[in-house]
Every structure is written in C-alpha cells, then in structure tokens.
Amino acid sequence: MLINYKKTYELLEERVISAKDASSIHNKFTTKPQGILIQDSYNNPFFPIRPEPKIDTSKLNLSIVFKRYRELYSQTKSVFLPWHYCIELVDDQYFVFNTRPLDMKFPITSNEMKIIQKKYDIEWDEPTKMFFKENIFDISESIHVCLIGSSNLDIYTQNTYSLIGKTCITPLLKQYKLPGGLFQRVFPLNIGPRFKFELISRFVKT
C-alpha cells in the first residue's frame, strides 16, 4: 500500500518538521538514548521516501533522499534528516553517513506516530506493531539508523552488517551502558526479508 504523502504531511506539519530541528533544548536528549531502531528509507514506518530511491544503486542517493524529505515533510530546508545514521552503497562499498546530531532527538514521538498510523492506516509489519503495542521505549528517545532503498529488494553484504554493528551500535551501547542483545535495545522496524537482522549480532561487542 502506498502512503498518501499529502495527508501524512498535513498531520505532521504542526508537530515535526523544521521547528524541532531548530536550535532548542526541547529537541535535545535530556537523558541517554533508550535504544537503537533500524529501518530503511523506502518502507520507512515514519517518513517513507518514495518513489525513489527504491533500490540502493552504486550512485550516491543521499542527495535524493534529502530532496524528497524536504519536499514531503519539511516546512523549510532542514539541514538534517530525521535519522541519525544513513547506510548507503557508493560504488562497490557501503558507507555510514551521520545525518543528524547524536544529541538531537528523533522529531516525532511514539504517541504522535500512533495517531498518524491509525488515521491513515499506514502499513506496519508485525514486529513494528508489537514494538508500539508494548511501548518498549519512545521513538523520539532513540537513535535511528536508516538503510537507503528497500530492504525487500536490496542485497546486503557482510560489510553492511559489520558497519552497522561496529559503527552505529557497539559504540552507542558502550557509551550509554545499554544491554547489547538484539531485541533488547536494538530493534528492526518495517525491515524486509533481504536484510538479515540477526547477522548484526556477529559484530556487536559490549
């Protein structure tokens, strides 16, 4: 099901967007982040980026993601994406891009997202529904890692899992003294079958 971006934007515009990316104590973590959420850009449960890039090609697609995010969800030309890290294939190698300051919260809360999901019947997979049902931790209090493209279609190398584990997860778990097991403080949301989430555990050291 394709999300109706116009309707989503109408509901988001008063809550999210650039006001929460302005320099303000209200958009900063007041305590340590509570967990790490992994998602992709195309099937994103919060800010889906469509129609492109659907497949993460060897070209640098991050500029397209910035452009689409600003068009769909931002009142002004925000210099940040909502995700703290973006993972992208460039040429023949995956890279991690820091696209949001690590002391800045995700720009929408779990309660706000539940309202949006219910109103517009946005499609979530079962693990994502369970995450929200159990209120494990608030999405605004989380570090967000986004894979560019669709995890239903892209093919991920061992280097992808290594980068996520060693660069995006292990340092944060150690710094904030969070439990290291997957599904304790690290969760996949709306992730497709091409991404083998459990393989990350090989590269997480706490």
Instruction: Give pLDDT tens digits for 56-89.
Output: 988 889 999 999 998 888 766 678 899 999 999 9
| pLDDT 10s digits, 99-146 | 999 999 999 999 999 888 887 777 899 999 999 999 999 999 999 999
Could you read off the pLDDT of 24-52 as tens digits, one per residue?
A: 567 899 889 999 999 999 999 999 999 99
- pLDDT surpassing 60 at residue 198: yes
| Torsion, Cα of 17, 19, 20, 24 (10° steps) | 160
- Token readout for 145 is 């890692």
pTM to 2 decimals?
0.88
What percent helix, strand, coil does the chain show, rounded to 5? 35, 15, 50
Q: Give the CA-trace dihedral at 168, 91, 79, 120, to 10 degrees.
A: -80
- Whether residue 171 has a cis bond before it, omega within 30° of 0: no
Q: What is the pLDDT of residues 144-181, one digit of tens each?
A: 999 999 999 999 999 999 999 999 999 999 999 998 78
Cβ atoms within 10 Å of 51's Cβ, excluding its own: 8
pLDDT-based confidence at 22, cuts 50/70/90? Answer: low
Give me the residue spans of the domains in the chain. 5-16+38-203
CA-CA distances (angstroms) from residue 117 to 12, 47, 120, 154?
Answer: 11, 11, 6, 26
pLDDT of amino acid 21: 63
Judged against a pLDDT cut of 70, whether residue 4 lies above it is answered with: no
